[in-house]
Chain A
Amino acid sequence: MRNIFVRESGNYKTSYVDDMKLFGTTGEKVKIALIIGLVLLVPVFATNYWVGLLTLCVISSIGAIGLNILTGFTGQISIGVGAFLGVGGYTSAIITSTMGLSFWISLPLAGLITAIVGGIFGLPALRLKGLYLAIATLAAQVVILFIISRWTSVTGGTAGMVLSRPSIGSFTFSSNISYYYLSVVILLITVLYATNLLRTRVGRAFLAVRDRDIAAQIMGINLFRYKVLAFAVSSFFVGIAGALLGHYTMIVSPELYSTTVSIEYLAMILIGGLGSVLGSILGAVFITLLPVGLGTFVDMVVVYFPDLYSLLSAFKEFAFGLVIILFLIFEPGGLAHIWLNIKKYFKLWPFSY
Chain B
Amino acid sequence: MKPLKIAAVALGTWLAIAAAPLAAFAQAPIRAEVNEGVIAPLPIGIDIESSGSDLGDKITKVVMSDLERSGFFKPIDPNAFIEQSVGIDATPTFASWKTINAQALANGVARVDAEGRLQVDFRLWDIFSEKQLLGQSVTATPENWRRIAHKIADAIYEKLTGEEGYFDTRIVFVAESGGKGKRVKRLAIMDQDGANPSYLTDGSYKVMTPRFSADSQEVAYMVLREDSARIYVFNIETGRQEAVGQIKGMVFAPRFSPDGTKLAYSVAQGGNTDIYVMDLRTRATRRVTTDPGIDTSPSFSPDGSTIVFNSDRGGSPQIYAMNADGTGVRRISFGGGVYSTPVFSPKGDKIAFTKQSGGRFSIGVMDAGGGNEKLLTSSFLEEGPTWAPNGRYIMFFREPPGSLPSLWMVEASGRIERPVPYAGGASDPAWSPRLK
A and B bind: no
Residue positions of B touching A, CB distance < 8 A: none
Chain A interface (Cβ < 8 Å from any Cβ of B): none
